[in-house]
Amino acid sequence: MTRPLRYIVASRSGLFLVNEARWKRVAEGQHFGVTVRGEEIYCFEAAPGGEKGRGRIVRYRLADETLIEPFPLVERLDNECHQVDFFDGAFFVVDTGNQAVLEFDEDWHLAARHHPVPPAGYKQWAQGYVHMNSLLGRDRTIFLMLHKGGPRGSGERSEILVLDRVFRIERRIPLDGYGCHDIVALEDGRLLCCDSQSGRLIHHDGDPVPIDELMTRGLAVGPDEIAVGSSLFDERPHRLLIPGFVTFLDRSFNRIGRLHLPAAPTQIRRLDGKDLSLSQPRPWQQASAIAAGDLAQEKAG
């Protein structure tokens, strides 16, 4: 009997449904963020060829391992947007290129444009560009990943900003990694993320989990399984041609599977919503996840 596809993977070469043994491409296009709400999939899709101001948010419905009824909800976004997610009655888009987080209301109108750090030109590292790429909401707290470019950028290690609901900085969590992506609040309070340039996962207290010698990006954590993406790192325009992997771990971080993909993962989510990478996970862990966010703040303080 064929096992169901359990995850959706965003990539520069389309959207894929995957499990540890097989994959299925279900949409074309360049995608940098994806999230799940019920039977609906929401993604950020960049414009072909990098044309400015033509990024968009698209909603799909999931049916029988297929995405149907694509519907554009927001258009004219910058091509350098990254992670997207629902939190506290709003839909958030990490507008990486413009150093902002966009907040949309339930009618898909722009409700706020948040600048938790000052604006800076794209990749102008010396002027304060930080390449924010990932967001996670818990209770009334928002965690925001600052990539910082690593040795090729600012030369600084990545860090996580801890923000209140109106995006005021409450504290900063330094990370022992460069070019990091993704934030997951675990049940014990640790914040798990991808130390992308070292091919591993790290907790905010520094504990490493080696994955491979590639660039880790894309992370989902469910009741008994973790899925993490990885790929070769290359400069544009070659990134469109780079294949990748999804590595599956148990909750003790032991490898239990690995899938080769014809694309480099940029985001991974569980289709059933039982996923601590989501700001609003399904109820199996929601209470624990909120407590984990509170404990992470206490540890960082």
Closest CA to 136 of 269, 31, 280, 299: 280
Residue 292 confidence (pLDDT): 42
Q: Which two tokens stand for residue 133?
A: 């790429």
Question: The tokens of 162 are what?
Answer: 């801890």
> So what's the pLDDT on residue 298?
42
Q: Are 243 and 212 a contacting pair, CB within 8 Å?
A: no
Q: What is the CA radius of gyration of the chain?
A: 17
Under DSSP, the state recorded for 156 is P
**Collapsed DSSP state (helix, strand, coil) of residue 292:** helix
- Residue 186 CA to residue 178 CA, distance in Å, equals 21
Residue 290, pLDDT score: 42
Output the six-digit token pair for 224: 């008994």
Alpha-carbon distance of 161 to 172, in angstroms, equals 5
134 to 49, 72, 85: CA distances (angstroms): 24, 22, 10
- Residue 150 is predicted with a pLDDT of 84
> Measured on CA atoms in the order 34, 37, 38, 41, is the torsion positive or negative?
negative
Q: Would you give per-residue pLDDT tens digits along the chain (301 residues)?
A: 789 999 999 999 999 999 999 999 999 999 999 999 999 999 999 998 767 789 999 999 999 999 999 999 999 999 999 999 999 999 999 999 999 999 999 999 999 999 999 999 999 999 999 999 999 999 999 999 999 998 888 889 999 999 999 999 999 999 999 999 999 999 988 999 999 999 999 998 767 999 999 999 999 999 999 999 999 865 554 555 578 999 999 999 999 999 999 999 999 999 999 999 999 998 765 444 444 444 444 434 4
How are beta strands 181-185 and 169-174 bridged, if at all? unpaired
Residue with tokens 């091509």: 79
Q: What's the angle, vertex CA 220, arms to CA 118 and CA 298, rounded to 5?
A: 55
Helix (H, G, I), strand (E, B) or coil at 92: strand
Rounded to whole angstroms, how far apart are CA atoms 22 and 47?
Answer: 28
What is the Cα–Cα distance from 195 to 175, expressed in whole angstroms? 9
Concatenated DSSP letters of 203-272: ETT--EEE--SSEEEEEEE-SS-EEEEEE----TTGGGG--EEEEEE-TTS-EEEEEEESS-EEEEEETT
* DSSP state, residue 127: G
Tokens of 186: 């675990």
Domains, the chain, ranges and CATH? Answer: 7-300 (2.120.10.30)
One-letter amino acid for residue 263 of the chain: A
Supply the pLDDT for residue 50: 66
SS3 state of residue 50: helix
CA 251 to chain centroid, in Å, comes to 19
